[in-house]
Structure 1
C-alpha cells in the first residue's frame, strides 16, 4: 500500500501493518531504515501485545502462565486492510487460536496511517469484544535512517524541545529486563544531547513517566531531520544496533518487565487496560523536516 503527496511517499506492508518506507520527496532522501539485515531486518514494527520482553519470557494472566516472544506477535502477523482513502489506510488484526496460546484475550487491533503534508499520523485502536477487562502493551518502533551513507551516530543529536534535564534507566542485558533502581541523568545543552555509539551500547535508553511529548533526531548543527509527537504515552525508548546508521524513537504504552517481575499482568508497571466492550485509542505522529526547493 502507498500513501503519497507532494512531500512524502509512504509504503506500508500488510505483514505486521508495518511502514516499510518513508521517502522525503523534497530532499530525495529515504528517512526510514531499509531493513538491511546486516544490522536489523525491520523498519518500523508495531509492538503488541507486549513491548520488549516479559521477564524470563513468561507472562501470568489470571493464575495461568503463558510463554511470550519479544515485542509480541503483531509484528509477524498478517493484517487485513479494512479501509483506505487517498491519504489514509487502516489495517486490522483479530485474535485467533494461535494468538490465544500466548495472549488469552479476544481483541481487535486497528492501526490507521494518515498522511498530511510532511507528517504521518499513526493511530492505534484496541477493541475489547469480550466480557472482561483486557490488559496489554502497545508501542511503535520506527528506525530513522541517517541521511547520507557515510554518516554515523556522531553526526546527529537528540533534541527534546523545552527540556533541560531528563532521567532514564537501562536494560540489564543478561536478564533482558529493565533496571528501575539505577537512574541516569541526561543534562541537555540547548535542548540537545549528542548521539554516540557509547550512549546506546547497552540496549535501549528508557525514559519513563511522560517526561516529554516531543523528540527529534537532528543534524549535528541542530537543524531538524525527523521528529515525533504524541500525548499520554508514559515511556520512550531510544535504541540502535552497534555501528548501525539509524536510531529508533520508540513510543511505548507499557514496556519490558523490570528485573524479577513475576506478578499478574494487571500489576505490571505502565500496563494498559480496556474494559469489556470498550476501545482504547492512542498513537503518535512522525514529522519529516522538508527542504522546500525553489
Structure 2
C-alpha cells in the first residue's frame, strides 16, 4: 500500500514495500523530482539499505567464525514494512526481525523509518533497536534517485553536481574483480570549480563514485547554475553518487557504512565504518532532501 501526505510545497508518497519513498512531487513547479523506476534502467526509487550497504566481498560475511550469505544492499528494501503511524506531516514504518531474516542476519532488530514533510524539505529518519543478547553489527544507507534532467529542462550533462564549497574531492571506484566491492588501493580526484562540476557522460562508466569522510552535503544545479535540490547528511562517514549511463536519473546516496574493500575477509566486527549496538540500545540518524 502507498501512503501520501502533502503541504503547500510538496506531496510525498511512501510504499509499505521497503518503506520506500516513491514520489516527491514539487507542487510549486508542477514536476516529479524522484525517479519513477523505469525498469529499462533501474526499477527502484529510493530504497533503504539495511543491514548492509553495498556488497560484502564474495557476497558473504563472517561473525564468530560462521559465514552468512548476503545480497547487495541487504533485505530491507525488499521487505514488507508495517505502517505504524500517519500524521499530517509524517509517515512511520517498522520492520522487525523474523525467522527468515535470522537465517541470514542472526540478530533480533527493529528498524523504524519515518518520512517527515517540512515545507520544501523531506527528512528521512532511521531508528534501529537491538534486542539481541550479543552485539549487533550493521550498516545503513539511503539510495534516492532524482530526475536529472528535471522535466523539460536541459540534458543530464548540462546539470551541475554541487558540494559544500570544496575545491576537489577524492573517491574510490568499484574493483574490476566483479566482486562489487571497493578498490581501496587507488584514489581518484574529482576537480571542482567553486564546489561544483558538470555531470560528465562517462562519470559512471565504472559504477558508483565512493566518497569517504568528505561529503555531508550534495545536490544538483540547473544548467543556468540555479539550485535544483540538495541532500544533507551530517555525520555520515560515506557517500555514493551513481547513475546508469544513458538514463535520466542520478542517485545521491548517504551511507553510514559502505561496501567491503575488495579482498576483505575479516569478521563483521572489523569492517570499516561498521555500527554496533548492544542489547536495547537505539541508533538514530537522518538525512534531508531540500527542493528549490
User: TM-score scaled by structure 1?
Assistant: 0.96
Deviations 1:187-237 (A, max 9, x none): 21021011022111110000002x131111111222111110111100000
Measured in 2, the distance between the counterparts of 1:13 and 1:187 equals 38
Structural mapping, 1:191-270, within 5 Å: 191-209=195-213, 211-270=214-273
Aligned to 1:169: 172
Aligned to 2:159: 156
Measured in 2, the distance between the counterparts of 1:25 and 1:113 equals 18
Q: 165-174 or 145-154, which moves further after superposition?
A: 145-154
Cα contact 1:153–1:245 (8 A) shared by 2: yes
Cα contact 2:204–2:242 (8 A) shared by 1: yes
Measured in 2, the distance between the counterparts of 1:261 and 1:283 equals 28
Cα contact 2:215–2:238 (8 A) shared by 1: no
SS at match of 1:100: helix
Among candidates 91, 94, 97, match of residue 93 of structure 2: 91
- The unaligned stretches of length 5 or more in structure 1 are 290-294
Measured in 2, the distance between the counterparts of 1:104 and 1:150 equals 48
- The unaligned stretches of length 5 or more in structure 2 are none
Aligned to 1:78: 80
Structural mapping, 1:32-181, within 5 Å: 32-146=34-148, 147-148=150-151, 151-173=154-176, 174-181=178-185
Measured in 1, the distance between the counterparts of 2:154 and 2:77 equals 29
Deviations 1:232-258 (A, max 9, x none): 100000000111100000001111111
Measured in 2, the distance between the counterparts of 1:253 and 1:171 equals 18
SS at match of 1:181: coil
Is structure 2 residue 281 aligned with structure 1 residue 278?
yes
* Count of aligned residue pairs for this structure pair: 288
Measured in 1, the distance between the counterparts of 2:286 and 2:121 equals 13
User: TM-score scaled by structure 2?
Assistant: 0.96
Aligned-residue RMSD, C-alpha: 1.1
Cα contact 1:144–1:226 (8 A) shared by 2: no
Is structure 2 residue 287 aligned with structure 1 residue 288?
no
Measured in 2, the distance between the counterparts of 1:90 and 1:166 equals 35
Measured in 2, the distance between the counterparts of 1:108 and 1:169 equals 32
